[in-house]
Structure 1
Amino acid sequence: MCSLNIAFRHFKIDVLKPNQGEAFFNLIDSNRARLEDFFAGTVSKTKTLKDTIGYCKEIQQRIKDKSYFPYLIIDINTNTFIGLVDVKNIDWNVPKAELGYFIDINYEGQGVISKALKHVVEYLTVAYKFRKLLCRVGSKNEGSIHVALKNNFELEGSIRSDYKTTKGEIVDLNYYGRVFSYNN
């Protein structure tokens, strides 16, 4: 049930498919320097095209296991991957999950990632009835903080010295959450 196909403006959102390794590699590779600190796992598993193709196969199993959902943002005009909203650290007992997101540098400031996150959140709450969604954001990452706030996530707190970047810097993380209630 993880598949969705949402379109807005000239973009669409859909789950990563097994045959999209090259396009996924290109997205990560063209944004590698800015992603390496907070998408360290993805960056480390996509160093080469061959690595990325293998990683995409691994991801397919995680999708089947409902432990990870990668939703790609695609520019329909160019058929290019331009961003990602991923659902990770899923706890089905609550149920809750963490969201990560980024947009290609060429699309920053256009509201695309905010709109994509909105659509993914709507989908997740309908399809999976998540009770809580959260975002962990570097305390100095003003762009990502703005995206979380624009999508009605509330600052739950800041955890000091909570994350080590790939450069070895220990940074503070802000935790933003959204709680959903459903009539049973």
Structure 2
Amino acid sequence: MLSFVDSSVDLRSQINYFKMKITGAANGTYKLSFIDADNKIIGCIDLHNIDSTTGKAEIGYWIHSSYSGQNIVSKAVKRLCTYSFEVLELNKLSIFADVENIGSNKVAIKIGFKLVGIKL
């Protein structure tokens, strides 16, 4: 589940969300890529909370449910990891996923991420 979805139902919330992301892109703390198939955007993947001083960032992703289970997100995460380590020269990436989000957790494990804790 995407925790921010419930809070983004009104126009003002959506505008503020996009302003936050654009500001992050401008100052280097956020990078967004879209996932496409069949000539349409089917999801996105991003790096957020990028800290070039410590070399750390977090990965987020989502895909339309009709495209899940096709290895698309796993491939996107692998590419983003390669870009993060080789181009941005980061040294640590994290994925925070709801424990009930089985699909997202499967992607993280498949790529080689390890569970280091559960936030209560």
Quickly name the TM-score band, shorter chain normalised.
Answer: 0.7 to 0.9
Q: What secondary structure is seen at the aligned counterpart in 2 of 1:86?
A: strand
Match of 1:99 in 2: 59
Match of 1:81 in 2: 41
Q: Which has the higher strand share?
A: 1
Question: 5+ unaligned residues in a row in structure 1: which ranges?
Answer: 1-33, 162-184
Q: Which amino acid in the other structure matches residue 27 of structure 2? A: D
Coordinate RMSD, CA, aligned: 2.3
Q: Which amino acid in the other structure matches residue 25 of structure 2? A: I
Q: What secondary structure is seen at the aligned counterpart in 1 of 2:108?
A: helix
Cα shift at 1:44: 3.7
Q: How many residues align?
A: 120
> Which of residues 49, 73, 76 is equivalent to 1:113?
73
Cα shift at 1:104: 0.6
Structure 1 position 64 matched with structure 2 position 22? no
Identity of aligned residues (%): 32
Cα distance change, pair 74–52 in 1 and its aligned pair in 2 (3 A) = farther
Question: 5+ unaligned residues in a row in structure 2: which ranges?
Answer: none
Match of 1:155 in 2: 115
Q: Which has the higher helix share?
A: 2
The answer to whether the 8 A contact 2:34-2:44 is kept is yes
Q: Which amino acid in the other structure matches residue 35 of structure 2? A: I
TM-score normalized by the length of structure 1 = 0.57
Specify the structure having the higher radius of gyration (Cα): 1
Inter-partner Cα distance in structure 2 for 1:46 and 1:56: 13
